[in-house]
Structure 1
Amino acid sequence: MYGGRGDGPFRDEGPTDLRLVPLAVAAWVAAACALGAPGWWSVAGVTVALVGAAVLWAPAAARWFAGPDRPGEPRPTEGGAEAGTLRRGTPGGRLRATACAGVLLCAAAGATSAGLHAADLRRGPVPALAREYARAQLEVTVTSDPRLTRPRVSGSATVPVSVVLDGEVTRAERPGGAAHRTRAPVLLIVPPGAARDAWLRLLPSTRLEVDARLVPPTQPGDPFAAVLKVDRGPPRIVGRPSALQRTAGELRAGLRRVTDGLDPDARALLPGLVVGDTSRIGTELRDAFQATDLTHLLAVSGSNLSVVLLLLVGRPGRAHEVERGGLAPRIGLSLRGSALAGGALTLAFVVVCRPDPSVLRAAACGLVVLLAIGTGRRRSLIPALATVVLVLVLYDPWLARSYGFLLSVLATGALLTVAPRWSEALRMRGVPDRLAEALAACLAAQAVCAPVVVVFAGRVSLVAIPANLCAELAVAPATVFGFAALALAPVWTPAGEGLAWVAGWPAGWIARVARAGAALPGAEMSWPGGWWGGAALALITVVVVLGARRLPYRGPMALLVAVLLLLVVARPAPLTRWVGGWPPPGWVFAMCQVGQGDATVL
């Protein structure tokens, strides 16, 4: 997908432009720190950053107001005592000071945005009611799709499945008290059996009137002012959803309708692949996707949009060539018209998948791919990605603490920087082009994302790379035919059902890959969780990558490593008996179910 030095699709453009990366990282880190810090700490940090930026920019500003250098003013030469040194008065030193000032300003902006958003969770009547565990009558605007909690066991009892959804309180009233207008984000929890189907049919932007008990959030970093435990009963709707959300809801419902006749796995998975609708995905299938590190296919991501954009405009790097690919030149669209059509597709993607932060993030990452398609320039992609990160963190600082956002950015960055070099290295060793691109993309994404997954999951998937390679074959056809079924379902149901049936084959293949990979005895390996465990895995990954470049006989060594990994994952019974002594020969395990209970005998 991305070429190497001059002979690939991309032109040789010199080193990658990384100037915007420190600015985006500074805003990101500052926002993440400010969200969990007291308000006065945020104010102090912003003040220090602004003062530091002013100090660094003062000499440059004074020089600008003083006018250009005098013709006779001495300048440092390339030789002599000052060679290789960037002093504050030299042009290089001034550029470095300006860059540091820009980093401090972006950090101040990130901390300011995060501090203001966090302050909204601590003021007003809703946090006060939550601290008192009080009951109140509230008017709430729904801001997300309703979803079901996962079944879990607490002690000797099973915690029932509830409906949860995000909302924003616009009016709060105590029993017998005064009503207050406010704006506070909350999390609604609906108890089991409380007209669950009616709650699950709610669309974002619907206004409700609820009677609920307010409690504080369980975690200090949660983006909610309170948790509302709603009383039993159907939702009391006082305001219809917006036209935009109704349109998106009708399209999503149409996709679910035309997939009703598919096999269970395809029926559950296809809406998730196309628009991120995971309401039909059960616990068993979700666990299989987690074990194989395929969960990125169940969420709305930039890959969904990039598949459609690639179908329209073709592969990156060929946009300026006469033989550019995609459907656009075949239907007479110019390069500018193709870019406009791609922008229209992006807008439609946001409408259908709902304009919440996760969808906006995916659309922004898709636009980075669109920039690659339209320009064929690799150097412009990293600045574009850094700009996207900076804008999104300032718009929604809670993304700075989102693992999903971090994984999206790392995967996109790896595909833009690491994967092209690894793909070129594989090509030089005789690997076919398409296989080299797919293998390099999977290796790069897994290398940068696995340490982050370890932080919150405490495990490493040993089948992630082969599972992603096998699933990648079916992602594009499932997505394309799924979007076609989505578009035709409201106007021509039989055609939508036919396209959904076609898309069901690759979707079923992806589900079978996930189930087969998760069923292997060594699919997952336990690993210490937390940031220390992530740092340890990152260090090991760096050592392995650097060591692999210096190993002699790389081909035989790679084959040996692949065989060892296969034995660890498959764990054939003779090998495990020889290594661990279990299971001992001649033993039998039997299970007996008699209706009122069961028994196991070893």
Structure 2
Amino acid sequence: MNGTRAAPARRSTAPGARTGTPSGGDSPSREVPADLRLVPPALAAWAAAALALGVSGTVASLGVAACAGSAGLLLARGRAGRTRGTARSTCAPFLATTAALTLLSAAAGGAVAALHAADLRRGPLPRLADEHARVTLELTVTGDPRRMRPRVHGAQQAPAALLFEAEATRVTARGPVGRATPSGRADSGGGVAREGGATGEGGPLTRTVRTPVLVIVRERDGQGTAKWLRLLPSTGLRLDAALLPPSRTGHGQDIAAVVRAHADGPPPVFRKASTAQRTAGSLRAGLREATEDLGGDARGLLPGLVVGDTSRLPPGLEAAFRTTDMTHLLAVSGANLTIMLAVLIGPPGTAHLAERRGLAPRLGISLRGTAALGALLTLAFVVVCRPEPSVIRAAACGLITLLALVTGRRRSLLPALAAAVLLLVLIDPWLALDFGFLLSVLATGALLTLAPRWSAALRHRGCNGRLAEALAAAGAAQTVCAPVVAVLAAHVSLVAVPCNLLAEFAVAPATVLGFAALAAAPFAMPLAKVAAWGASWPTEGIAALARTGADLPGAEISWPGDWGGALLLAVLLVAVVLLGTRFEPARRPWLCAACVLVLLIALTRPVPLVRPFTGWPPSDWRAVACDVGQGDALALAAGQDGTAVVVDAGPDPDAVDDCLRALDVSAVPLLVLTHFHADHVAGLPGVLKGREVGAIQTTSYEEPPGQAEFVHRTARESGVPVIGATAGERRRAGDLTWRALWPLPRTGPTGAQPEGANDASITLLFRARGMRLLLPGDLEPDAQRRLLTAYPRLPPVDVLKVAHHGSAYQYPPLLAQVRPRIALISAGADNPYGHPAPRTLTALRSAGALVRRTDRNGALAVTDTRIRGSAPQGDGAPAVVVQREERREEPRGQPPPAPPLPDG
């Protein structure tokens, strides 16, 4: 079991040879049962802490008292059993003691968690946050600033922002604090403002506190956040900011308030970071400098692999890591530390032997010296990667894995893991609600329990030893973590195991060379650059692997993002594992080949093979309104396989990319962006991703300017020309022809200056094999009126993309003139604007149009039934195929008048 050398009396073998395992541990057939005594106390403390953080203090206190009292009764009973000493009661005292320790651990976990929760709600800051107060805060940065992904809110894209964790140490709220009442006047809230009796009635409230907060800093007046990104933990800031109550989903479990501030200049620092943090910061900055000249993805990815610095990671690569479930490589994990310690100590099973390998024995360092050096390396790892909870967790899990490397004594590993969980939960009970902590423990537990058995089973079936270990490790970790990942991401990755398996071979050299660059940067930057250049090769390989896996059409499948979906996935995975244990590939090669074929089909999803099962997309689609949420994105087939004209890109690059990929669109001769609102242009990178785009056509009214600049910058970086639209121009792509109707030149009675970006929308009239389609962008009623004035003989159309997502702002005479047979509405489910408006739906139906909407039907495909050789539908109108049936009934009867809606 312990992998020691064979006794002299035995036949001479290499260390670990008798075990039959690479680690020197016993084979599964002779393995001593695992020691599980510490597992119940650890799980009990974990569960109790999680429950105590979600209930009131009274309930938590009652639970702690009940657990402690029950533990006392069990201990008393066990003592009495040992006093009697009867043979019948030999096991009873042991079981009673174990149960008592479990209950005591639960009581300790619940008590610590309840105290932390009470401390979080203590002081004035939570109440000030409930009142949305404006305050002056002194705070200490506790986490690295990181950029937030820009979000689209209707027509606008939120300005660039970053967030970081901090601890508020002093708060000053000036004047009466209150929230806006329905009448628009402020409620005084003076009770909160006067608490503490700071400086008299109505004066400022000043209190010294120690309260964790989340800080969100946004750009304003062109002031960037680049200098804020260089803030180091332990830095003291003084901010004038607004307080908000935390959301209890996502961030908000372990913070008392959200602090919203603006980057009006450099960070207002009143206390510099500590010496240790400045040292760590200089090392991280040195690594960034050493990787500055690297090309491709290595420049942003290598710092992420080494120290978790993802500040320069391309958004597309980050999305690819999420799709392939490789995001653990971008976070500081125990694997980083384990790799470095393995370089020091050597391969598994040899660290404690005379024949040990690694750098330590080559340098003549003794076992005790090696242990001390390993401890120093661990300390340096924590300092450089910042002593945040995630780093402490990674260090603990890394040391547990190190124990496996050094001793190969699996019997002691589960108790070590359980002890680490128990200790970490008691130190920081908020870890009980942290998904990262859960995934770390699950992955480490799988590597210690499932992976050795699966590896032995694979070797028994003839698999190479090293390949069996790698397959077992990747498969075990992914199997136990997949249900939790499904809750977090609402998807299941089909490429996670092969991508993580192949990445293992590149992670170690990239990490080792990356740490070498980190260590050399302060003393010899040229040497650091050489090490970084060497690390760039495996790093680029990891990036290419992630991008390739994510680009597969079937890389991920949607999955219910709740605990019911997690349970279902867990059951399925258990069933697959049980079937796999009985599967003999050598006896059923045809079945193995069939499974591989099915997997390849699921990953590549060839449209001709998938369509009979899904019904999507229809083979003869002429136009598709993509389901991109609250925004517009339409594809019109150009008569050639894989070619389509795209009108607008929606708000989300991933959504429009998924839609075009499902349609098998690989070439876009023209991408028309009707106007520069974010819900029409923010998805531009998704259209450009992996496709040949001939040109981008835009309106000349470049408002909002920030989003217009985004379009021009993105096009310039992709090498795609940007052209303008001229009313009256005619274009053709394959058998698709179209005419631009709007906007008119800014001369004459109908060409006046548009009142906003919506009224400057490019309006197109398409014709495809006899079918007419009108796409008016987001034209408002006045622009619709002027359009009808300019084109009084506008012909009836088969398909109308309803303007402005079906809002209440429509011009009824235009609807009466074009008399659409099909009305397509692109709107997001449960959007805050009320789109589509009930009266617009009524007007369309009254005009005889068949109304379909993306918020209920998903993507909408228009097909011309006359092309298929079958009988025309009704009077020859084209058909519309929906991706899914409506989830609820349409409202019946006359709807009430819709109130004016905000621009979205």
**Which stretch of structure 1 is more off in the superposition, 575-584 or 536-545?**
575-584
State yes or no: 1:228 paired with 2:255. no
> What letter matches 1:570 in structure 2?
T
Q: Aligned-pair distance for 1:282?
A: 2.6
Per the alignment, residue 584 of structure 1 pairs with 619
- The structure in which a higher percent of residues are helix is 1
Per the alignment, residue 169 of structure 1 pairs with 168
State yes or no: 1:75 paired with 2:87. yes
> What letter matches 1:149 in structure 2?
M
Does structure 2 conserve the Cα–Cα contact (< 8 Å) formed by 1:319 and 1:376? no
Per the alignment, residue 594 of structure 1 pairs with 697
Deviations 1:502-546 (A, max 9, x none): 001111110000001111111111111100000000011111111
Equivalent of residue 64 in structure 2, options 41, 46, 52: 46
CA pair 25-474 structure 1, distance change in 2 beyond 3 A: same
Q: How does 1:472-483 map to 2 (within 5 A)?
A: 472-483=504-515
Deviations 1:134-189 (A, max 9, x none): 11111101101111111122334322221211111111112242421110001111
Larger radius of gyration: 2
Q: Give me the whole-angstrom Cα distance separating, in 2, the residues matched to 1:578 and 1:50.
A: 61
**Which stretch of structure 1 is more off in the superposition, 319-328 or 577-586?**
577-586
Q: Aligned-pair distance for 1:556?
A: 4.2
Q: Give me the whole-angstrom Cα distance separating, in 2, the residues matched to 1:583 and 1:512.
A: 33
Equivalent of residue 539 in structure 2, options 507, 532, 535: 507
Deviations 1:38-66 (A, max 9, x none): 111110110100010011011234567xx
Question: 1:546 is paired with a residue of what secondary structure?
Answer: helix
> What letter matches 1:561 in structure 2?
C
Does structure 2 conserve the Cα–Cα contact (< 8 Å) formed by 1:548 and 1:554? no
Q: Aligned-pair distance for 1:374?
A: 2.8
CA pair 471-402 structure 1, distance change in 2 beyond 3 A: same
**Which stretch of structure 1 is more off in the superposition, 327-336 or 212-221?**
212-221
Per the alignment, residue 488 of structure 2 pairs with 456
Per the alignment, residue 105 of structure 1 pairs with 104
Q: Aligned Cα RMSD in Å? A: 2.1
CA pair 376-547 structure 1, distance change in 2 beyond 3 A: closer
CA pair 458-231 structure 1, distance change in 2 beyond 3 A: closer
Equivalent of residue 56 in structure 1, options 43, 67, 74: 74
> What letter matches 1:184 in structure 2?
T
Per the alignment, residue 87 of structure 1 pairs with none
Q: Give me the whole-angstrom Cα distance separating, in 2, the residues matched to 1:60 and 1:447.
A: 40
Question: 1:170 is paired with a residue of what secondary structure?
Answer: strand
Does structure 2 conserve the Cα–Cα contact (< 8 Å) formed by 1:4 and 1:424? no
Does structure 2 conserve the Cα–Cα contact (< 8 Å) formed by 1:339 and 1:370? no
Does structure 2 conserve the Cα–Cα contact (< 8 Å) formed by 1:461 and 1:524? yes
Q: Give me the whole-angstrom Cα distance separating, in 2, the residues matched to 1:48 and 1:237.
A: 48
Question: 1:543 is paired with a residue of what secondary structure?
Answer: helix
Does structure 2 conserve the Cα–Cα contact (< 8 Å) formed by 1:301 and 1:359? yes
State yes or no: 1:345 paired with 2:448. no
Q: Aligned-pair distance for 1:555?
A: 4.9
**Which stretch of structure 1 is more off in the superposition, 479-488 or 307-316?**
307-316
State yes or no: 1:132 paired with 2:161. no
State yes or no: 1:25 paired with 2:43. yes
CA pair 74-526 structure 1, distance change in 2 beyond 3 A: closer
State yes or no: 1:146 paired with 2:161. no
Deviations 1:431-452 (A, max 9, x none): 1111111111111111101011
Q: Give me the whole-angstrom Cα distance separating, in 1, the residues matched to 2:319 and 2:580.
A: 33
CA pair 257-97 structure 1, distance change in 2 beyond 3 A: same
Larger RCO (alpha carbons 8 Å, 6+ apart): 1
TM-score, normalised with respect to structure 1: 0.93
> What letter matches 1:30 in structure 2?
A
> What letter matches 1:273 in structure 2?
L
Question: 1:24 is paired with a residue of what secondary structure?
Answer: helix
**Which stretch of structure 1 is more off in the superposition, 314-323 or 395-404?**
314-323
Deviations 1:437-472 (A, max 9, x none): 111111111110101111121100011111112211
Does structure 2 conserve the Cα–Cα contact (< 8 Å) formed by 1:255 and 1:271? yes
Question: 2:170 is paired with a residue of what secondary structure?
Answer: strand
Per the alignment, residue 201 of structure 1 pairs with 230
Q: Aligned-pair distance for 1:127?
A: 1.1
Q: Give me the whole-angstrom Cα distance separating, in 1, the residues matched to 2:78 and 2:552.
A: 62
Q: How does 1:357-372 map to 2 (within 5 A)?
A: 357-372=389-404
Identity %: 54
Per the alignment, residue 80 of structure 1 pairs with none
Deviations 1:230-255 (A, max 9, x none): 24423211111000100000000000
State yes or no: 1:211 paired with 2:240. yes
Q: How does 1:481-560 map to 2 (within 5 A)?
A: 481-551=513-583, 553=587, 555-560=589-594
TM-score, normalised with respect to structure 2: 0.62
**Which stretch of structure 1 is more off in the superposition, 488-497 or 192-201?**
192-201
Q: Give me the whole-angstrom Cα distance separating, in 2, the residues matched to 1:390 and 1:581.
A: 50
Deviations 1:394-434 (A, max 9, x none): 11111111111111110111011101011111111111111
Per the alignment, residue 83 of structure 1 pairs with none
Does structure 2 conserve the Cα–Cα contact (< 8 Å) formed by 1:589 and 1:601? no
Q: Aligned-pair distance for 1:558?
A: 3.3
Q: Give me the whole-angstrom Cα distance separating, in 1, the residues matched to 2:468 and 2:42.
A: 31
> What letter matches 1:230 in structure 2?
A
Q: Aligned-pair distance for 1:323?
A: 2.3
Per the alignment, residue 82 of structure 1 pairs with none
Q: Give me the whole-angstrom Cα distance separating, in 1, the residues matched to 2:47 and 2:224.
A: 43
Per the alignment, residue 36 of structure 1 pairs with 54
Q: Give me the whole-angstrom Cα distance separating, in 2, the residues matched to 1:401 and 1:135.
A: 30
Segments of structure 2 that go 5 or more residues without pairing to the other structure are 4-15, 175-202, 621-638, 646-667, 671-695, 700-724, 726-761, 769-904
Per the alignment, residue 405 of structure 1 pairs with 437
Segments of structure 1 that go 5 or more residues without pairing to the other structure are 77-89
Q: Aligned-pair distance for 1:344?
A: 1.1
Question: 1:264 is paired with a residue of what secondary structure?
Answer: coil
Q: Give me the whole-angstrom Cα distance separating, in 1, the residues matched to 2:596 and 2:46.
A: 38
Q: Aligned-pair distance for 1:349?
A: 0.3
Does structure 2 conserve the Cα–Cα contact (< 8 Å) formed by 1:313 and 1:327? yes
> What letter matches 2:278 in structure 1?
R
Per the alignment, residue 449 of structure 2 pairs with 417
> What letter matches 1:462 in structure 2?
L
State yes or no: 1:431 paired with 2:444. no
Question: 1:505 is paired with a residue of what secondary structure?
Answer: helix
Deviations 1:109-139 (A, max 9, x none): 1111111111122110211211221111111
Per the alignment, residue 387 of structure 1 pairs with 419
> What letter matches 2:373 in structure 1?
A
Q: Give me the whole-angstrom Cα distance separating, in 2, the residues matched to 1:5 and 1:379.
A: 18
Q: Give me the whole-angstrom Cα distance separating, in 1, the residues matched to 2:588 and 2:576.
A: 13
Per the alignment, residue 81 of structure 1 pairs with none
CA pair 190-476 structure 1, distance change in 2 beyond 3 A: same
Question: 2:117 is paired with a residue of what secondary structure?
Answer: helix
> What letter matches 1:584 in structure 2?
S
State yes or no: 1:182 paired with 2:209. yes
**Which stretch of structure 1 is more off in the superposition, 306-315 or 486-495?**
306-315
Does structure 2 conserve the Cα–Cα contact (< 8 Å) formed by 1:415 and 1:444? yes
**Which stretch of structure 1 is more off in the superposition, 157-166 or 526-535?**
157-166
Q: Give me the whole-angstrom Cα distance separating, in 1, the residues matched to 2:17 and 2:167.
A: 49
Q: Aligned-pair distance for 1:74?
A: 5.3
CA pair 52-500 structure 1, distance change in 2 beyond 3 A: same
Q: Give me the whole-angstrom Cα distance separating, in 2, the residues matched to 1:25 and 1:114.
A: 14
